[in-house]
Structure 1
Amino acid sequence: MANLREAQKQMTRRLLLESGLELFKTKGYAATTVDDIATAAGTTRVTFYAYFPSRSDLMRALIDEQLNEKLERVRSPEHGSTARDLVATVAEGTHEAIMAWLRRTSELWPAVRPIIRIGRDASVVDPDLPDLVERWMEEAIADIEDGLTAAGRLEPYQRHFRGVLAMSQLDYVAQHWDGSDWKIGRDEMLEELGASWVRLLN
């Protein structure tokens, strides 16, 4: 019986997260209320608050749980979260390893893009969420720095900033690829991005 109750709790929590994400996508973060989310999830405001103290906390959970789950990022005491495959890819540093990682990651862009966009919108209007996505981006930058450190490549002072440059490129391309006319195919775009990463990280 206890296991059933726990499963129901997890299902309710997931429904609230999924309903929040869908409403944030369609109505926008600022226009979506706690009542909207609770209703869409088939529950009540009281139940919402049993799982999340505020709309801000639900937004944080979308970043900390759903986004990290999609990208296979795990909790890290040093950085908040880490993607071990990214650290290993950067440490290897070869064109083949970087291209394989970028191809895998690019398959996730349609699922990842809305969460990042909503997180940035939320940071603008919600004083409880300053720099929400940017802090998360710093965790990914730290992975690149860790990979470079493990490989002993570049000077220590260069490693973090090279990560900033690499993740800035990736973020911009991932956020704008579908809606831009860059006169380049997807495969060619990934090759150009990969070549840039190889130059930056070696």
Structure 2
Amino acid sequence: MNLRQAQREAVRQALIREGMRLLARKGFAATTVDQIASAAGVAKGTFYNYFATKEDLALAALPPRLEALRRELEAAGAMPLRAALHHLLSRLVEWTQQVHPDVIWLWCIENLRRGANEPASRLLHRLVTDLCARGQARGELQDSRPPEELALDIEGIALARLAAWYHSGAPPGLLPHLLAAVDTYLAGAGLREEPAGRAGGSLPAAGPGPVPPPPPPDPNRQGPPPSSEGPEGTQAKGKESGGP
């Protein structure tokens, strides 16, 4: 990166930083482009060299967080699937606590409207897909569907919970409900404990305190495919999933 590129990136980051600070405090309606530009120390016209709208600025704030989270998970090594997903979702919930709820709703809408064309949605999908693929390869997840499909299911659960949270007035307690919903899905997809002999990685604690145990799997959800491991393997799976 040459000097000119570095200067442009510094201005862009200043606009994002100051814009998100103002949006977190005042929301979209009460925050103007003039205020964001002034806080970043640039002219109003300079803002439009980087972003078309305040909404575009807000959407640009999430991809760097997801990239940092991807590196964090990679550095942790072979974490069990459930623990890795819990950590990812905990970090996302931390983000919801640092921004105005309007920003979360904006991202939900853009995710539905643009899908993979929305940068943060594309990064999140790639990250969850990789985690599901690793879980299948390690024998943690019995569901044999493509990991991309499993990732779409999990992302859909997260988006639905975020939307419900927003329309309920953004009350506290989002994380336990979100994790419980994902755990229920994983149980239906045939999640098993980490196979013996594999040591999971570790990550710094994320999100609020302990999460209550997940509810029992939905009886209407189709269970995992039949086991091919014989009676002993089937019996072990029954014990792990709370069966007889």
| TM-score between both structures, scaled by the size of structure 1 | 0.57
- Residues 145 and 163, structure 1, Cα contact 8 Å, conserved in 2: yes
Query: How many aligned positions are there?
Result: 174
Residues 94-152 of structure 1, C-alpha deviations (whole Å, 9 max, x = no match): 4xx53255247535632355459444433689xxx473697516555544554466558
Q: Deviations over 1:65-97 (max 9, x none)?
A: x33234237xxxxxxxxx7689x65xxxx4xx5
Compute the displacement of 1:21 (Å): 1.0
Structure with greater Cα Rg: 2
Partner AA of 1:35 in structure 2: D
Runs of at least 5 residues in structure 1 that lack an aligned partner in the other structure = 74-82
What's the Cα RMSD here? 4.6
Distance 1:122 1:165, change over 3 A: closer
Find the aligned partners of 1:145 and 1:42 in 2 and give their Cα distance. Answer: 44
Structure 1 segment 72-151 matched on structure 2, within 5 A: 72=70, 89=79, 94=80, 98-99=82-83, 102-103=86-87, 106=90, 109-111=93-95, 113-114=97-98, 117-122=101-106, 129=110, 131=112, 136=121, 138-139=125-126, 141-143=128-130, 145-147=132-134, 150=137
Match of 1:78 in 2: none
Instruction: Provide the residue aligned with 1:52 in structure 2.
Output: 51
Unaligned runs of 5+ in 2: 192-244
Report the secondary structure of 1:131's partner residue. Answer: helix
CA displacement at 1:17 relative to structure 2 = 0.4
Query: Paired residue for 1:68?
Result: 66
**1:154 equivalent among 133, 137, 143:** 143
Which secondary structure does the structure 1 equivalent of 2:36 belong to? helix
Identity of aligned residues (%): 23
Q: Distance in 2 between matches of 1:50 and 1:147?
A: 41
Contact conserved, 1:23 with 1:32, CA < 8 A, in 2? yes
Structure richer in helix, relative to its length: 1
User: Is 1:10 aligned to residue 3 of structure 2?
Assistant: no
Q: Which amino acid aligns with 1:110?
A: E
User: TM-score w.r.t. structure 2 length?
Assistant: 0.49
